Structure 1
Amino acid sequence: MSPVYTLDARTATDHFPGIGRYVVNLARAMAPLLAPEERLFLLRDPTRSSPWDLSALAGERVRVVDVPLSPFSLRQQWAVPRLLGRLGADLYHSPYYLMPYRPGVPTVLTVHDLIPLLFPRQSTFQARLLFRWTTARALRAARHIVAVSEATRRDLTRHFHVPGDRVSVIPEAPDPAFYPRSPAEVEAVRRQYGLPDSFVLYVGSNKPHKNLTRLVEAWARSMEYGTRNTLVIAGVWDPRYPQPRLLAERLGLQTVRWLGPVPEADLPALYSAATLFVFPSLYEGFGLPVLEAMACGVPVVCSNTSSLPEVAGDAALLADPTDTGALAAAIVDLLGDRARREGMREKGLQQAARFSWGWTAVATLGLYRRIVGQAVC
């Protein structure tokens, strides 16, 4: 038997930066683990712009198959199952809930988070209804489900009553590009963005669950406690949620910098340049920026909610994200204690090293093999 696994990489586009990174890193790490008789087909949408070159992953056991269909396309419901039949696929793995709901082969579904249900104010009633319906369809179609954290697994049980034996927790990991950068690289990114020698960094979007308004409030309180530093906020800015920036302007905070989106290539050096990384999110399915910062040798303050405690372990200073006083105190405490920051830096490097795409690929490929019923030695 020559098992054929199909990983849907149509989300490896500019529109899905997080899920795209997941798919590409998983495929890259899985390729060298395949047995001689195993094949991995990557479905790619060639009509969409992508920061990743999936063709570079092609080889003797990995093939890239072009499928000019977006995950939002209704036509995928019959076109993708037909393609899986032509490819002789034994298994289909979707990293996204918008997928063919009758794929015709055993299916693995990765669930990253359930944000539309947990934060209903971020979407319309119709959008929430559609998310619940399509997610329920995807869960029913899946033979097995991968949750990226225990927190996500609990959310699946709570909101969709998914039995525990149908879910495996297989975490994500920081990209190998995230490691402490050289002084020259750090200085170059500091000059490029006009950053001071010492600053506190946040990387992420400004969506409401990211809790930036409270971060701005906490930063204002930290200045009352004597902080003389700069808060740098980097990430894609959604104009629907201007409240954090408006609050900073109203409070007259001159020490908040808004960088906007930063190219992936600049992120490791940007993390490495920071004195402290702060991540006050109310909810994360996994919370990858915390591990990225740790992997770059930056001490971390983050929320004590959702998946963040399991991701950060004892290597971060945890704070209640709804308590701006506690968040401000955590920032001030670490900024004022160089020895503690150094200790957390070392702990963070060790914690980040516990997560690897190699391990994630081993666990995922093992799941494929169990489902297909092929024991490969």
Structure 2
Amino acid sequence: MKIALLSYSTRPRGGVVHTLALAEALAALGEDVTVWTLGRGGDAGFFRPVDPAVRLRIVPFPDGPDGEGVGARVLRSIATLRAAFDPAPYDIVHAQDCISANAVGRCVRTVHHLDHFTTPELAACHERAIVEPYAHICVSRPVAEELREGWGLTARVIPNGVAYDRFAATDPRARERWRARLGRYVLTVGGIEPRKGSLDLLEAYALLNGEVKLVIAGGETLFDYRDYRARWEARAAELGVEPVVLGAVPDEELPALVAAAGVFAFPSLKEGFGLAAMEALAAGVPLVVRELPVLREVFGAAARFADTPRTLAAELGHALAADDPARRAAGRDLAARHTWDTAARRHLDLYRSLR
């Protein structure tokens, strides 16, 4: 089959990581796969090298005028991708987010998680990207159930894969370099934003005892979270804590950063699967997540769960204080079972049923 997979960015967000890994796994099975996306701010390539078996179509998307709001940027993103994309050559057009789904029209859509937006243009984009696709995929059952309850739609559940070997077998020297630079640390990946529960994590960190840093990596996003970031920085000053904010970490350095952490914190308020958390399990790092149905389903006995800053601090402290070989082994086993080859084969089964 000729398959088009579409995303909205070249930068390291969960949906983009998913799109590239799925494309490579489909190509490894002999399919003809093209990834389409927007090259924001002059980007001419993705955040990491992509298997040459996958064709790439990166549509230039220059920065907008000063003062361009989120709504205007969303509409311009849709229009730019729509003008460049021709669905005619493809048997399957598969959009991974609301912007690309709005741009391409008739498509398969992966709903990674469901959001509630207040920006009118974004709220309308989100709604159309749910109701207009002719087939839906979700990466976990709770999200599929949300789709059924809210819109009466039935989605195929296909969990994420994880690049297990990449995180399970990191260079000891690279891990030591991170530890020498940062000391002992709690790590979270995903940046500072409301959905990631960043303020709750900050409050929990202030309650932790001992010499340990809070390290935050990642954070590339389409949205403007400057007000939230300002609140987060003001609260950090009030609490007298100084987290280490790394921003986007080069892809080749990320596995060692994860593997060197004392514990991985994942206090998201809304998730569809938790790919970054699954990568931490592959690396053998203790995991503490928010008590959400989706995260309980995905991680089960492999993670510790918390629902308030105080319980989050307590669980982080427990994970830092004592090794738990049984939970660590359960985490590695869980991550190893989530392969991109399996995910790609299940996608192909769905694609074939739609032709």
TM-score by length of 1: 0.79
Residue type at the aligned position of 1:51: F
Secondary structure (helix, strand or coil) at the match of 1:84 reads coil
Q: What displacement does 1:52 show?
A: 4.8
Distance 1:190 1:142, change over 3 A: same
**Could you say which residue in structure 1 is the equivalent of 2:44?**
49
The Cα of 1:108 is off from its aligned counterpart by 0.9
CA deviation vs aligned residue, 1:251-304 (integer Å, no higher than 9, x gap): 2235x3333332222111011111111111222122112101111110111111
**Distance (whole Å) between structure 2 residues aligned to residue 67 and residue 235 of structure 1:** 23
Match of 1:186 in 2: 175
Aligned twin of 1:258? 245
**Is 2:92–2:351's contact at 8 Å kept on the other side of the alignment?**
yes
Give deviations 1:222-269, integer Å, cap 9, x for gaps: 22xxx3422222233853322233222212235x33333322221110
Contact 1:178 1:268 in 2 (8 A): yes
CA RMSD of aligned residues (A): 2.8
Q: Closer, same or farther in 2 for the Cα pair 1:335/1:362, shift >3 Å?
A: same
Q: Deviations over 1:198-221 (max 9, x none)?
A: 222222221122222222222222
Corresponding residue for residue 214 of structure 1: 200
Please tell me whether residue 72 in structure 1 is matched to residue 77 in structure 2: yes
- Separation in 2, partners of 1:75, 1:289: 30
Indicate whether 1:244 and 2:237 are aligned.
no
Could you say if the C-alpha distance between residues 233 and 54 of structure 1 is closer, same or farther in structure 2, counting changes exceeding 3 Å? Answer: closer
- Separation of aligned partners in 1, 2:292 and 2:37: 35
Q: Contact (CA 8 Å) 1:209, 1:281: kept in 2 or not?
A: yes
Contact 2:161 2:342 (8 Å CA) reproduced = no
Structure with higher Rg: it is 1
Q: How many residues align?
A: 334
For residue 148 of structure 1, report the CA deviation from its aligned partner: 1.7
SS in 2 for 1:368: helix
Counterpart position of 2:66: none
State the partner residue of 1:325.
310
2:302 to 311, 315, 320: 315
Partner amino acid, structure 1, of 2:97: Y
User: Aligned partners of 2:25 and 2:298: how far apart in 1?
Assistant: 21
Q: If the length of structure 2 is used for normalisation, what is the TM-score?
A: 0.83
Tell me: CA distance 1:5–1:180, structure 2 relative to 1, closer, same or farther (3 Å): closer
Amino acid in structure 2 at the alignment position of 1:162 = G
SS of the aligned residue for 1:201 comes to strand
Q: How much identity, in percent, do the aligned residues show?
A: 31
Q: Is the 8 A contact 2:24 2:51 kept in 1?
A: no
AA aligned opposite 1:5: I
Residues 3-55 of structure 1, C-alpha deviation per residue, up to 9 Å, x if partnerless?
A: 433323x53513x6332211111110011213xxx633443557643335777
SS of residue in 1 equivalent to 2:79: coil
Question: What are structure 1's unaligned runs of at least 5 residues?
Answer: 373-377
Q: Cα deviations across residues 133-170 of structure 1 (Å, max 9, x unaligned)?
A: 223323343221011222221222333x1332xx1111
